[in-house]
């Protein structure tokens, strides 16, 4: 009799311990923590971490009537796309994560999407804006950036308002999926407005010497020079432009000027450079997400990191907010149910309204255009959030 009582008490104790242990949602994130894209990778990680920390402080993600803590599982793919694919597969098949936050950029995201699709794992693509990522018929990938022409169209329209008719345009693009796709859209936007395309070439990934190319660009006498690439690329090009004596009435670089390192690294050379980006901290959105508004998000980021967030930080947090909303709406962590909620999402967030088209690409907000003026990022479009005018 005593043995039965002891056994029953032990069973109750074990059940109580199990009930008291809070469930955990594991999210895998292959990021470029080292290598040429490390600035971007570190920023995404900051954004992911702020969201996870904020959610956990609030008790976790509500699944039905229970709250689940968030655990981020990171893997460094060293800015090497094939390695990103390998690590995404490992995160799913060996580390048993529940969902994936994509690597940085359109190229690596497209490669990894094949892995998440095969395993039917919802994949939140924070930083992919090229339609080539989303036109593969995949059902489990959802991108948080509007298409590339949502950047090139306002840039070209602003250029038309400031430059003479038939202005000469030169385009220099990194030979990578997003920068090349953006350059192709820029060409369309420029030709639509009657500009002359006098130079349109690509530079190799990892190129360190652009001097010969920039001499050719100078000979083309552009009124508007557009350079596409990542942070380290455009910093280097801008420095070597000075060495080559190359200037233009309007200089646009996408996406490096979005980061404070651009201005900090080159000082006065940053002055007047324009760019376009998917989010800016001067935005004033009210959201249903865990942050509640742009202002509250910026304040939370400042408190944690001591500086203002940029678009990569913010979209890293948005990835979490969107996944959280889908899980809570589904009332379950079952992957297909969460995927279905993502597909029909219509959510106001601190980043802006989020809704996806049939291919899983967001189509619900207007990206800002900004210019470096007096060492600061000044938004010149759209008018609703502008803090200055184009110079």
Please report, in angstroms and rounded to a whole number, the separation of the first and last CA atoms in the chain: 89
Whole-structure pTM value: 0.87
Question: 194 CB contacts (<8 Å, ≥6 apart)?
Answer: 165, 166
pLDDT, tens digit, 9 for 90 and up, residues 227-254: 999 999 999 999 999 999 999 999 999 9
Check which CATH number belongs to the domain holding 67 and give it: 3.40.50.2300
- Is the peptide bond prior to 382 cis by the omega test (within 30 degrees of 0)? yes
pLDDT, tens digit, 9 for 90 and up, residues 307-338: 999 999 999 999 999 999 999 999 999 999 99
142 Cα distance to chain centroid: 12
Residue with tokens 């600035």: 39
The answer to whether residue 133 is domain-embedded is: yes
Q: What is the per-residue pLDDT for 18?
A: 39
Answer whether 259's CB lies under 8 Å from 231's CB.
Answer: yes
**pLDDT band with cut points at 50, 70 and 90 for residue 21:** low
The answer to whether residue 307 is domain-embedded is: yes
The answer to whether residue 390 is domain-embedded is: no
269 vs 273: CA distance, rounded Å: 8
pLDDT, tens digit, 9 for 90 and up, residues 84-108: 999 999 999 999 999 999 999 999 9
Q: Are residues 44 and 105 in the same domain?
A: yes
Q: Are residues 194 and 116 in the same domain?
A: no
Q: What is the per-residue pLDDT for 22?
A: 78
Q: Are residues 101 and 169 in the same domain?
A: no
Which range of residues forms the domain containing residue 141? 23-146+282-355
Residue 333 backbone phi and psi in degrees, to 5: -95, 5
Question: If residue 292 lies in a helix (H) or strand (E), which one and from where to where?
Answer: none
Q: What is the per-residue pLDDT for 154?
A: 97
Statement: residue 1 has pLDDT above 60? no
Cα–Cα separations (whole angstroms), residue 295 to 50, 206, 266: 15, 37, 29
pLDDT, tens digit, 9 for 90 and up, residues 46-79: 999 999 999 999 999 999 999 999 999 999 999 9
Statement: residue 8 has pLDDT above 90? no
The answer to whether residue 4 is domain-embedded is: no
Q: Are residues 238 and 137 in the same domain?
A: no
Question: 315 CB contacts (<8 Å, ≥6 apart)?
Answer: 44, 47, 126, 127, 144, 145, 278, 279, 351
Q: Are residues 68 and 213 in the same domain?
A: no
Q: Structure tokens of 209? A: 């010497």
- Is the peptide bond prior to 255 cis by the omega test (within 30 degrees of 0)? yes
Q: Are residues 76 and 108 in the same domain?
A: yes
Q: Are residues 99 and 194 in the same domain?
A: no
Q: Are residues 104 and 237 in the same domain?
A: no
Statement: residue 20 has pLDDT above 90? no
Domain count across the chain:
2
Q: What is the per-residue pLDDT for 354?
A: 98
The answer to whether residue 43 is domain-embedded is: yes
Q: Are residues 99 and 162 in the same domain?
A: no
């Amino acid at each position: 009799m005593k043995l039965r009582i002891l056994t029953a008490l032990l069973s109750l104790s074990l059940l109580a311990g199990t009930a008291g242990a809070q469930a955990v949602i594991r999210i895998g994130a292959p990021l470029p923590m080292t290598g040429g894209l490390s600035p971007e990778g570190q920023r995404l990680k900051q954004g992911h971490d702020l969201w996870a920390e904020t959610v956990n402080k609030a008790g976790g993600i509500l699944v039905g009537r229970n709250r689940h803590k968030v655990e981020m599982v990171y893997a460094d793919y060293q800015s090497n796309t094939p390695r990103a694919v390998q690590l995404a597969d490992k995160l799913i098949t060996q580390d048993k994560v529940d969902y994936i936050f994509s690597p940085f950029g359109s190229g690596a995201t497209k490669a990894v999407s094949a892995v998440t699709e095969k395993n039917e794992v919802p994949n939140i693509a924070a930083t992919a804006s090229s339609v080539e990522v989303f036109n593969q018929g995949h059902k489990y990938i959802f991108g948080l950036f509007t298409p590339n022409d949502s950047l090139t169209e306002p840039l070209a329209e602003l250029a038309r308002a400031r430059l003479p008719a038939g202005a000469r345009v030169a385009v220099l693009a990194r030979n990578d999926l997003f920068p090349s796709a953006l350059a192709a859209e820029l060409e369309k936007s420029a030709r639509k407005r009657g500009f002359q395309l006098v130079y349109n070439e690509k530079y190799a990934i990892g190129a360190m010497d652009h001097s010969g190319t920039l001499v050719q660009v100078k000979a083309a006498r552009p009124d508007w020079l557009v350079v596409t690439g990542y942070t380290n690329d455009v910093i280097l090009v801008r420095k070597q432009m000075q060495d080559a004596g190359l200037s233009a009435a309007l200089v646009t670089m996408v996406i490096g000027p979005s980061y404070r390192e651009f201005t900090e690294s080159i000082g006065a050379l940053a002055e007047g450079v324009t760019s376009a980006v998917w989010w800016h901290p001067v935005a004033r959105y009210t959201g249903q997400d865990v942050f509640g508004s742009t202002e509250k998000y910026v304040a939370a980021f400042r408190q944690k990191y001591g500086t203002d967030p940029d678009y990569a930080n913010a979209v890293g947090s948005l990835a979490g907010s969107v996944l959280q909303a889908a899980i809570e709406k589904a009332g379950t962590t079952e992957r297909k149910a969460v995927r279905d909620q993502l597909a029909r999402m219509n959510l106001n967030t601190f980043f802006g309204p989020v809704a996806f088209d049939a291919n899983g690409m967001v189509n619900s907000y207007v990206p800002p255009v900004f210019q470096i003026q007096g060492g600061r990022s000044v938004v010149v479009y759209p008018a609703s959030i502008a803090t200055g005018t184009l110079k």
